[in-house]
Structure 1
Amino acid sequence: MTTVTTRTVAYPADGLTMIGHLAIPAGTGRGPAVLLGPEGAGVNDVHRHRADALAELGYVALAFDLHGDGRWFTDPEEMLARAMPLLADPDRLRDIGRAALDVLLDEPRTDPGRIAAIGYGTGGAVALELGRAGVDLRAIGTVNALTTGRPGEAAHIRCPVWAGVGSEDPIMPAGQRDAFAAEMQAAGVDWRLVVYGGAQHAFHHPPVDHAVVPGVAHHPRHAERAWRDVVGLLAECLPVTG
């Protein structure tokens, strides 16, 4: 097993002190790096462990914060009160993403020309908005985040986009899937959309011991498949060498 070094990083964004989790692979040279964004509830051990898993594969990985102080909401109403205004404001999403990107770029092990952005839910919306802002990324991957942007801005995306969603997701229904696909296609983006049959929203996240919004359910098989698809996207667009 590859030795991974981890540390907590604090940085400013959205008027808050964000607390992220940085995972660094063994070795000394620069290599590819990945921004990893959580769903609307915020960053927790699930995302930190995913960052560690990416570092095991050779990526510098930052699980970034959305809500300040590394907060993870367990109350659905509190989560929606924080996340919905973010989703309605592309500039705030971009600012949160750029602040996390700066942390990743400040890490000496990061190759600044080889960065991808992966996100779940709201974190996926951050990844997409970075692309629409023209940030130099090698790949964008989202799960449960088929958000559409302001007219014409998808043309600024300069890398492949992969998106995954559950067929039974009431938060990202068929109409939203169609709108996302139309936006990507009209912009000439190299895009893919995988629909996981029978899965609902946040199907990738293990079950939690508190109330969730309706339409959220874990799907173990598709969770594993979505992770393999994310890793496959990175292997294609951001291969680890050496």
Structure 2
Amino acid sequence: MTRITTRTVTYPADGLTMVGHLALPAGHDRRPAVLLGPEGMGLGDVERRRADALAELGYVTLAFDLHGGRYLGDPEEMLARCLPLLADPGRMRGIGHAALDVLRAEPRTDPDRIAAVGYGTGGAVGLELGRDGVRLRAIGTVNATTTGRPGEAERIRCPVWAGVGSEDPIMAPAQRDAFTAEMQAAGVDWRLTVYGGALHAFHHPPVDHSTVPGVGHHPRHARRAWRDVVDLLAECLPVPERPGDDPGDQPDAGR
């Protein structure tokens, strides 16, 4: 296994002090980079493991924070913060830009070769960066077929891949259709993968706290979605590939 280094980074965003997880590949050269966004619950061990795995593949990776260092395991508290956030593109872009600034400031990062990959709310943040005209090499989302303000998707100038469960009641077929119509009308190079039988947050291992309705882990599709993310990055940000399972597909520690 390639030796990586990790460190915690703090930075201001959305009126909070965010606490991100930066993972660096071995070596001292500049590398392509990934901005990694978490589900609505916030940055946890699952995203940290994914960031570490991407660093092992050769990517400088910042798993960014949504809630000022907090993990919102209470569904009502999570929804109370995330629903207004998802309804406010400016706030999402502010959170994304703040994290992107941290990633770009890392000396190992090649600032011209950055992709955004996100899950749920973190994926919506990545899409809003694209709609804001940020130069990215790829945008990948799982559980985030969110739409933006009219006409702004035309600013996206990179491939967009989205993965969603067929039985996801949060990103339901009507929402998926609106997303793909937006991407198509904007001339985006887009792909949508629908994972049969999967619910919302199917990629996330089971947690020991209550969740919103319609959430459920699907181990087989979780592994497939991870491979799809890695394949997207290999296509748009090529570095030597290494096979591996989704490192997030383990129970969270300390929850």
Report the TM-score, using the length of structure 1 for normalisation: 0.99
Q: Distance in 2 between matches of 1:95 and 1:164?
A: 24
2:53 alignment partner in structure 1: 53
2:144 alignment partner in structure 1: 145
User: Where in structure 2 are the equivalents of 1:227-242 lying within 5 Å?
Assistant: 227-240=226-239
2:174 alignment partner in structure 1: 175
What residue identity is the alignment partner of 1:30?
R
1:88 alignment partner in structure 2: 87
What residue identity is the alignment partner of 1:43?
L
- CA-CA distance at 1:180 after TM superposition: 0.3
SS of residue matched to 1:20: strand
What residue identity is the alignment partner of 2:191?
R
Q: Distance in 1 between matches of 2:208 and 2:66?
A: 21
User: Where in structure 2 are the equivalents of 1:64-213 lying within 5 Å?
Assistant: 64-68=64-68, 70-213=69-212
SS of residue matched to 1:239: coil
SS of residue matched to 1:108: coil
What residue identity is the alignment partner of 1:90?
P
SS of residue matched to 1:103: helix
Q: Distance in 2 between matches of 1:71 and 1:32?
A: 28
- CA-CA distance at 1:171 after TM superposition: 0.1
SS of residue matched to 2:216: coil
Q: Distance in 1 between matches of 2:9 and 2:178?
A: 36
Gaps of 5+ in 1: none
**Mapped pair 1:11 → 2:11:** yes
Computed over aligned residues only, the root mean square deviation of the Cα atoms, in angstroms, reads 0.9
Q: Distance in 2 between matches of 1:4 and 1:187?
A: 39
Identity of aligned residues (%): 81
SS of residue matched to 1:178: helix
- CA-CA distance at 1:205 after TM superposition: 0.3
Q: Distance in 2 between matches of 1:108 and 1:129?
A: 25
Deviations 1:41-100 (A, max 9, x none): 1010000000000000000000000010x2111100000000001000000000000000
- CA-CA distance at 1:14 after TM superposition: 0.3
1:38 alignment partner in structure 2: 38
What residue identity is the alignment partner of 1:179?
A
Q: Distance in 1 between matches of 2:2 and 2:64?
A: 22
Gaps of 5+ in 2: 241-255
What residue identity is the alignment partner of 1:84?
L
- CA-CA distance at 1:225 after TM superposition: 0.2
SS of residue matched to 2:181: helix
- CA-CA distance at 1:239 after TM superposition: 0.6
- CA-CA distance at 1:240 after TM superposition: 1.5
Q: Distance in 2 between matches of 1:102 and 1:151?
A: 26
What residue identity is the alignment partner of 1:184?
M
Q: Distance in 2 between matches of 1:149 and 1:196?
A: 23
Aligned length: 241
What residue identity is the alignment partner of 1:195?
V
SS of residue matched to 1:62: strand
- CA-CA distance at 1:140 after TM superposition: 0.1
Q: Distance in 1 between matches of 2:172 and 2:73?
A: 24
Q: Distance in 1 between matches of 2:225 and 2:152?
A: 27
What residue identity is the alignment partner of 1:34?
V
- CA-CA distance at 1:31 after TM superposition: 0.8
**Displaced runs of 4+ in structure 1, greater than 4 A?**
none
What residue identity is the alignment partner of 1:6?
T
2:246 alignment partner in structure 1: none
Report the TM-score, using the length of structure 2 for normalisation: 0.94
Q: Distance in 2 between matches of 1:90 and 1:158?
A: 18
